[in-house]
Structure 1
Amino acid sequence: RFMCDYDEAGSIGKRYRRQDEIGTPYCVTFDFDSAEDGCVTVRDRDSMQQERVPMDQLADYIAARIQF
């Protein structure tokens, strides 16, 4: 449904910068809290705002924000 890139090298800040450089509109981060609360952090490239999103709602969340 979406083209994805997996990156675990370096710090989270460096990962975000790499994805910003190649034009990735949204970064999804699975962190230590994700296993407990079932949510991931979604970072918007343009606004740099971050939001916690339930994993079972992630595809719909991204689809609602991407214009083809």
Structure 2
Amino acid sequence: KRYFRFDEIGTPFCVTIDSENYDKWLVTVRDRDSMKQDLVKIDELNAYITKKLS
């Protein structure tokens, strides 16, 4: 349900900041097509998304 709106408009990735990972500088990245979720360090987010798009 959390990602329904983003799936509906075709957003390929959703980035979520969770309260439990906030202090660790981690975000959850969800891939629309595979539904896979990965924890990614904020400073590595750009490289992560760039790699997924290539």
Amino acid at match of 1:43: R
2:30 alignment counterpart: 43
Instruction: Looking at secondary structure, tell me which structure has more strand per residue.
Output: 2
Give 4+ residue runs of structure 1 displaced > 6 Å after superposition. none
Identical aligned residues as a percent: 50
RMSD across aligned C-alpha pairs, in angstroms?
Answer: 1.1
Higher relative contact order (CA 8 A, sep 6+): 2
Give the alignment of 1:1-68 within 5 angstroms.
Answer: 13-14=1-2, 16-67=3-54
Following superposition, the deviation at residue 34 of structure 1 comes to 2.6
Name the SS of the counterpart of 1:57 in structure 2.
Answer: helix
The answer for unaligned runs of 5 or more in structure 1 is: 1-12
Amino acid at match of 1:22: I
The answer for unaligned runs of 5 or more in structure 2 is: none
Name the SS of the counterpart of 2:15 in structure 1.
Answer: strand
Structure ID, larger Rg = 1
The alignment of Structure 1 onto Structure 2 pairs a total of residues equal to 54
Give the TM-score of the pair, scaled to structure 2. 0.90
